[in-house]
Structure 1
Amino acid sequence: MKKHVFAAVLLAAPLLASAQEATIRKNLPARIPGLAAIDEVAKTPMDGLYEVRIDNEIAYTDAEGNYLIHGTLVDTRAMKNLTEERINKLNAVKFSELELKNAFTMVRGNGKRKLAVFEDPNCGYCKRFEKDLAKVDNVTVHLFLIPILGEDSMTKSRQIWCSADKAKTWVDWMQRDVTPKGNPVCNTEALTANLEFARKYRITGTPTVIFADGTRIPGAINTQQIEQQLSR
């Protein structure tokens, strides 16, 4: 008899979860006009609390959609920021999905460690990041140019991409303020492809760093932070 009861409980659990998800999907849009389409509803480790994902934004609600919470969910026992972990997972980019043909590569030392970075040549934070990145050894860097800060960014990106030594021209400009020169005459389809990739993966700021494990970090992280991620 007990076995039958246990089996019935196991069968009922998914149905209950499905019903609660349906309730949340129904109530929240009805009560919040203009709410964007809900992409996913998932139960959290906290009893009665559900994650609501809209695009890559996370909010929380109860099983009836009576309350909506914007904030951070922290597991105090494990001292883990569950919201941050979830967003990092949503923002991750598989290294295998990067179109490396649209980047130029710089190898330092044995080059065993790998990272990719999306940068605009007129980005001040990128210049700061490049000076910190220059202190990291035994790394392969795949540099994707995404000119998003105006027409001059596109001009400089073309000059860098069309130069005989892309890496040297890039380093000279970003670290030594040696302005790229010349009339860029070459195939610059890679720059267009990079901008399309950035739109697809919502890379809206520079620098954006992607590590071999898929971890994606926006902003000018310092040398120590780069090393920490590479050593994971």
Structure 2
Amino acid sequence: MKYALFAVLGALSLSACAEGPKPAADTAATAQATAAKPAAVKAAAGTPDARAIEAIRVLNSRVTVERIGAAPMPGFREAIVSGQVVYVSDDGRYLFLPGSGGALFDTTAKKNLSEVALAGMRKEALKAIPAGERIVFAPANPKYTVSVFTDVECGYCRKLHSEIAEYNRQGIAIEYLAFPRAGIGSQDFTKMVSVWCAPDRRKALTDAKNDHAIPNKNCKNSVTQQYDVGQRVGLTGTPMILAADGTQLGGYVPPAALRETLDKMAADGSAKPTATGPVDAVPAATTAGGA
């Protein structure tokens, strides 16, 4: 997915493009900033170093390759890119971002190979949560369906939910899964159990996210199971949006941007549009009420 590659490598240059240019009159500051910017490394054409540099620049032309040389393991070059280490195979095809959240990319296929593997695992893990245990907000005929791990307290979860009608207008169905960030047994957990045990889950979830009181309830529920699945799929914060194929689409994503991403995935063949029947097939407890 080309757009995903640009997004990941774009993170390497955030420090370089977070601030706009200074006014022309501030010549001293401009000169100082120019002097502080590291020079891009050069390499002889046709060498492994040159192929590695080209692979990085193809994915993101804005980053600066500050250093390039042999890697600790054979067959790879080690590059310093905007202050971070990147490993590229000698033929320039494979690029590896080490560290937490790192990934292996096929630069020829423009594909995040790590995400492909994780997406398959997430898709299988989500199958453990029955459709009737999800709180669904959907248009009459959704083009796409995404799963969203949510918490009733987090700010971005509330922002996403406040725009639920716009997601639906964009043809996107939202299937909420519970992930009380404070953990099992917390006050947050108890509140989410009350939501999942409410006769009208949609209304209870909306009320909870708007700080409206909801009746305390307890019943046989899947909140703990959903929390466990969230941990298994690598959730580190809420919300977490997953496409139907298990691809992680980020945290809060504005409705129009999410639709654009899903359209690109469908065009690339990396994710298919939703092919389900009418929404009223979902159990009444997840469809009653309003946003």
Interval of TM-score (by shorter of Structure 1 and Structure 2): 0.5 to 0.7
Q: Which residue of structure 1 aligns with residue 208 of structure 2?
A: 173
Q: Which residue of structure 2 aligns with residue 119 of structure 1?
A: 150
Instruction: Provide the C-alpha distance between the structure 2 equivalents of 1:42 and 1:161, rounded to a whole number of angstroms.
Output: 47
What TM-score do you get using the length of structure 1 for normalisation?
0.61
1:46 matched to 2:92: yes
Structure 2 unaligned regions, length at least 5: 1-71, 75-86, 267-291
1:143 matched to 2:189: no
Change (3 A) 1:56 1:166: same
Q: SS where residue 115 of structure 1 aligns?
A: strand
Instruction: Provide the C-alpha distance between the structure 1 equivalents of 2:259 and 2:115, rounded to a whole number of angstroms.
Output: 18
User: Does the CA-based 8 Å contact 2:95-2:106 persist in structure 1?
Assistant: no
User: Does the CA-based 8 Å contact 1:51-1:58 persist in structure 2?
Assistant: yes
Q: Which residue of structure 1 aligns with residue 134 of structure 2?
A: 103
2:258 to 223, 226, 229: 226
Aligned-pair CA distance for 1:159: 1.0
Task: For 1:26-37, list aligned pairs within 5 A.
Answer: none
Aligned-pair CA distance for 1:50: 6.8
Letter of the 1:148 counterpart:
R
Structure 1 unaligned regions, length at least 5: 1-22, 26-40, 60-72
Aligned-pair CA distance for 1:107: 2.4
What TM-score do you get using the length of structure 2 for normalisation?
0.50
1:192 to 224, 233, 245: 224
User: Does the CA-based 8 Å contact 2:151-2:179 persist in structure 1?
Assistant: yes
Instruction: Provide the C-alpha distance between the structure 1 equivalents of 2:220 and 2:124, rounded to a whole number of angstroms.
Output: 24
Aligned-pair CA distance for 1:184: 1.4
Change (3 A) 1:197 1:147: same
User: Does the CA-based 8 Å contact 2:197-2:218 persist in structure 1?
Assistant: yes
Stretch of structure 1 that moved more, 115-124 or 212-221: 212-221
Change (3 A) 1:24 1:195: same
Change (3 A) 1:131 1:45: farther
Change (3 A) 1:44 1:158: farther
Q: SS where residue 135 of structure 1 aligns?
A: helix
Count of aligned residue pairs for this structure pair: 173
User: Does the CA-based 8 Å contact 1:109-1:139 persist in structure 2?
Assistant: no
Q: Which residue of structure 2 aligns with residue 68 of structure 1?
A: none
Q: SS where residue 136 of structure 1 aligns?
A: helix
Q: Which residue of structure 1 aligns with residue 216 of structure 2?
A: 183
Structure 1 vs Structure 2: percent identity of aligned residues?
Answer: 21
Change (3 A) 1:51 1:113: closer
Instruction: Provide the C-alpha distance between the structure 2 equivalents of 1:228 and 1:215, rounded to a whole number of angstroms.
Output: 15
Instruction: Provide the C-alpha distance between the structure 1 equivalents of 2:197 and 2:166, rounded to a whole number of angstroms.
Output: 26
Stretch of structure 1 that moved more, 195-204 or 103-112: 103-112
Task: For 1:2-21, list aligned pairs within 5 A.
Answer: none
Change (3 A) 1:121 1:45: farther
User: Does the CA-based 8 Å contact 1:104-1:142 persist in structure 2?
Assistant: yes
Q: SS where residue 157 of structure 1 aligns?
A: helix
Letter of the 1:144 counterpart:
L
Aligned-pair CA distance for 1:119: 0.7
1:129 to 138, 141, 160: 160
Q: Which residue of structure 1 aligns with residue 197 of structure 2?
A: 162
Q: SS where residue 172 of structure 1 aligns?
A: helix
Stretch of structure 1 that moved more, 204-213 or 86-95: 86-95
RMSD: 3.4
Instruction: Provide the C-alpha distance between the structure 2 equivalents of 1:74 and 1:112, rounded to a whole number of angstroms.
Output: 29
Change (3 A) 1:215 1:74: closer
